[in-house]
């Protein structure tokens, strides 16, 4: 996911040195840079969408053209809403870095792991707790 989110300007993954302490200052600095880069990319996408929608606001006489334009706009707005929610998670992750909680599971407190944090920089649960949560959601039907 991080590859998709970071787009073309991908930041190099953090490579831990042997015996290095988990979530030290270098790692926090790396993940802060990853999260801030991700946020900048999404904010740029949002700005481009707004400008595009303003520039391309055309009233078509043909109902099919109008329906196609409205469908495109609805899809774009849905994507931007997803990005807005992700920006909120990015901000929460940056706050977790500031508080020293970043990289540790909210449920059990264990290390989430560098590879998982690289794959999903906004992760708040270790893979075991997240899997368990998804199984529960599946059973409940959410």
pLDDT, tens only, 79-132: 889 999 999 999 999 999 999 999 999 999 999 999 999 999 999 999 999 999
Q: What 8-state DSSP symbol labels residue 29?
A: H
What's the token pair of residue 106? 């909210």
What residues contact residue 72 under an 8 Å CB cut-off, 6+ apart? none
> Are the C-beta atoms of 73 and 56 separated by less than 8 Å?
no
CA distances from 79 to 2, 20, 43, 86, 92 (A): 17, 39, 12, 11, 20
> Are the C-beta atoms of 114 and 16 separated by less than 8 Å?
yes
- 4 pLDDT more than 50: no
Confidence (pLDDT) at 9: 56
For the full predicted model, state whether its pTM sits above 0.85. Answer: no
Domains in the chain: boundaries: 2-6+22-140
Confidence of residue 142 (pLDDT cuts 50, 70, 90): low
> Are the C-beta atoms of 107 and 129 separated by less than 8 Å?
yes
Decide yes or no: CATH 3.40.50.2300 for domain 2-6+22-140: no
Cα gap 69→33, rounded to integer Å: 37
13-63 pLDDT per residue, tens: 888 888 999 999 999 999 999 999 999 999 998 888 877 777 766 777 788
Beta strands in 51-135 (DSSP E): none
Phi, psi of 15 (to 5 degrees): -110, 115
């Amino acid at each position: 996911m991080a590859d998709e989110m970071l787009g073309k300007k991908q930041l190099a993954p953090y490579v831990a040195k042997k015996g290095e302490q988990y979530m030290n200052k270098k790692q926090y600095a790396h993940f802060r840079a990853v999260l801030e880069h991700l946020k900048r990319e999404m904010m740029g996408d949002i700005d481009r969408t707004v400008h595009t929608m303003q520039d391309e606001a055309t009233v078509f006489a043909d109902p099919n053209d109008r329906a196609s334009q409205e469908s495109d706009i609805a899809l774009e707005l849905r994507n931007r809403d997803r990005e807005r929610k992700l920006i909120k998670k990015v901000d929460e992750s940056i706050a977790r870095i500031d508080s020293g909680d970043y990289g540790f599971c909210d449920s059990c407190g264990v290390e989430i792991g560098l590879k998982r944090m690289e794959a999903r920089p906004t992760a708040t649960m270790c893979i075991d707790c997240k899997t368990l949560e998804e199984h529960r959601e599946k059973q409940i039907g959410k």
